[in-house]
Amino acid sequence: MRAVVIREGGRAELEERPTATPSEGEMVLRVLASGLCGTDLWKLATGAAPAGTVLGHEIVGEVLALGAGVRGFEPGDRVVVPHHLSCGICRLCQSGAETQCSAFRLNRLDPGGFADQALVDAAATARAARAVPPGLDTFDALFLEPAACVLRSVNRASLATPLEAPGRTVALVLGGGSMGLLHLLVLRAELPGCDVVVVEPRADRRELALELGAAAALVPGDPHLADLGADAVFDCVGGGELAGVAIRALRPGGTAVLFAHARPGDTPAFDLNDLFKHEKRLVGAYSGSSREQARIFELLRSGVLRPSVLVSHRLPLTEFAHGVDLARRQEALKVVFEPGAS
């Protein structure tokens, strides 16, 4: 099989690798689609991915082979599976910090999603993989993992529903890229009474945000931001300056969620007394737990959440470098690689 392998200096090139044979409890998938994530771009840009790594963790595949003892799947089934899974029993898991569990750091896909095939380990096969039902499009199912990350971000904001709090709930999303717009879609699916405002410099992405149901789409620096009084702000861009913008845009008691990587060593600058006196909160949101994955799968299966609208480019693995370049230059919203495509 072929795999996109990271070389020294962050280069990526196709390499032939032997196909895998599943051991007990494991399964092998033929990768149908694998999404390019902002984390993949960050690892390529910073060198965080060691040479020899195969990236790609948003995948839908078709079952090629099953190891002994696997139940619930048959050859030919479409399967969506996340690459991380917590142990579920440690103190972190029991306290709700599943994404900080040491077991969560393990990659359950071998070698990774940017390959013709992927081996799913026994734990993920048993506890995380899901058969994609006939009515669910492959390119919607592909968003199970990233949408679960977004749902955790929304949950970390502790937004009240309109029935629990008077007036409209207002959420501000900084950044109209794929993850910012995925926040918009998940917020509208999970909290339909919430008014979502997107801040994005590109006019085409502001227009798309409005088409997808945003209450407003503003440019960075818009004077209305200071008076917005948002219940929650989601920073999907990253960096110290945006953290300050997020804090200032909050109402008293509101929550700012950091959802994006910052540059190494970057520090935020905001008025600590604003945070203290007005009881605002600043929290991080990293990845998505099994609970968020289960809830997103329900939203996908029911048709309430249809994120495939964000896919702007579908490319074969042979055009991996081109897809990365498109994403870096913001000429693509969401790139998906189809290993079997020509």
pLDDT at 262: 86
In this structure, how many other beta carbons lie within 10 angstroms of the beta carbon of residue 155? Answer: 18
Structure tokens at 31: 């990768």
Instruction: Kindly report the pTM of this predicted structure.
Output: 0.95
Please give the C-alpha separations between residue 168 and each of 29, 163, 195, 222, 286, in angstroms, as whole numbers: 45, 10, 7, 21, 27
Angle, alpha carbons 189-148-216 (nearest 5°): 40
Mean pLDDT across the chain, nearest whole number? 94
Tally the C-alpha atoms within 13 A of residue 312's C-alpha that lie toward its C-beta. 17
Across the strands, what pairs with 109?
120
More confident residue, 169 or 259: 259
Q: What CATH number is given for 150-284 in this structure?
A: 3.40.50.720
Q: Is the pLDDT of residue 164 over 70?
A: no
What's the pLDDT band for 295 if we cut at 50, 70, 90? very high
Please, where are the H alpha helices in 212-289?
240-249, 272-277
Across the range 278-305, mean pLDDT stands at 96
Query: What is the total residue count of the chain?
Result: 342
Residues of the chain within CATH 3.90.180.10 domain(s) are 2-142+311-337
Give the residue among 201, 152, 197, 149 at the shortest CA–CA distance from 173. Answer: 197
More confident residue, 65 or 270: 65
* Least confident interval from 62-66, 82-86, 167-171: 167-171
Contacts (Cβ under 8 Å, ≥6 apart) of 315: 322, 323, 335, 336, 337, 338, 341
pLDDT at 268: 87
Tally the C-alpha atoms within 13 A of residue 187's C-alpha that lie toward its C-beta. 34
Instruction: Indicate the class that CATH gives domain 2-142+311-337.
Output: alpha beta
Please give the C-alpha separations between residue 296 and each of 130, 206, 242, in angstroms, as whole numbers: 12, 25, 28
Structure tokens at 147: 């949408």
Residues of the chain within CATH 3.40.50.720 domain(s) are 150-284
Report pLDDT digits (tens) over 188-232: 999 998 999 999 999 999 999 999 999 999 999 998 887 889 999
